[in-house]
Amino acid sequence: MNNDLEADCPPLECLVIENTLVAAKEPERLILEAVEKHGFSNDATFAIRLGLEEALTNAIKHGNAGDPSKKITVKYYVGPDQFIVCIEDEGPGFRPARVPDCTDDARIGLPDGRGIMLMEAYLDDIRYSERGNKIRLIKKNN
Amino acid sequence: MESQQGQVKVTQNDGVAVVEFEDRKILEEISIAQIGETLSDVVQSVPNVKIVLSFRNVEHLSSAALGMLINLRNQVQKVSGKLMLSNIRPQIYEVFKITQLYKLFEIHDTAAQAIHQMSAGDSTED
């Protein structure tokens, strides 16, 4: 169930945006402003910015397949200790476990497929809904 | 000789095109396509092109930027050119390490070192 990802979260701000990279700038801006206001470390801020960029780009390009008629829902919390975001697209979902290893010799020279690896490396917790069209990212303020 | 091409500045130094990203900055999805086109033009500008890509102003990059770099590398290889990266700050270099892409690119601390290495490589080949 999609709502499981939000079940143990503090109250989340909510934005619904158009399915474009330009529209994605608004939640990024709001979140990064809040992150700065709460004094997140430089490393944590870097990680949050990277994770947001990757998750939103994936939702726009892959989840919603670039369809401009679709929407993306962004729900987020920024507090002194942690940042949480849930990003949901209107696509059919996917299976994260089926994404090939981009560091494999056969794939390392390919231009795509690194977004999930980077999110996993930089965020403290990543979860997907059962359908795979919603992701929750958590980053602690270290 | 120096030219400004949108979001990059290109300087010719001893037969090497030194490309610097402008605007700080932020190699993100929304600007990558345009930057990629500009860099393709640089690759096509001379035979056996030599390029040093300086990340001096880069504070953030996305996986889209990594994809652009790989495409650039492939283009340079096709024309028997050389590509090196320089001035990558530790936070950005960590991204190269995590994705193992440091194995694909020759990376130097400074553009001057990269240029010197290009010249040394030419001397060896002569």
Q: What is the CATH number of the domain that holds A16?
A: 3.30.565.10
Q: How far apart are CA B62 and CA A122, in angstroms?
A: 12
Mean pLDDT value of segment A37-47: 96
ipTM of the prediction: 0.88
Question: Which residues of chain A from 6 to 65 reach within 8 Å of chain B, CB to CB?
Answer: 21-22, 25, 42-43, 46, 49-50, 53-54, 57
Residue among B29, B60, B104 whose CB faces A49 most closely:
B60
What are A6-35's pLDDT values in tens digits? 998 999 999 999 999 999 999 999 999 999
CATH number of B2-112: 3.30.750.24
Query: Which residues in chain B have their CB less than 8 angstroms from residue A111's CB?
Result: 66-68, 70-71
For the CA atoms of B24, B26, B31, B32, the dihedral, rounded to the nearest 10 degrees, stands at: 110
Q: For residue A66, give its domain range.
A: 2-140
Q: How far apart are CA A85 and CA A76, in angstroms?
A: 4
Q: Do A117 and B104 touch (CB under 8 A)?
A: no
pTM of the model: 0.90
Q: H or E stretch including B2?
A: strand B2-5
Query: Which residues in chain A have their CB less than 8 angstroms from residue B83's CB?
Result: none
- Which tokens sit at B32? 């990558």
User: Measured between CA atoms, how close is B23 to chain A, in angstroms?
Assistant: 17
With cut-offs at 50, 70 and 90, classify the pLDDT of residue A102.
confident
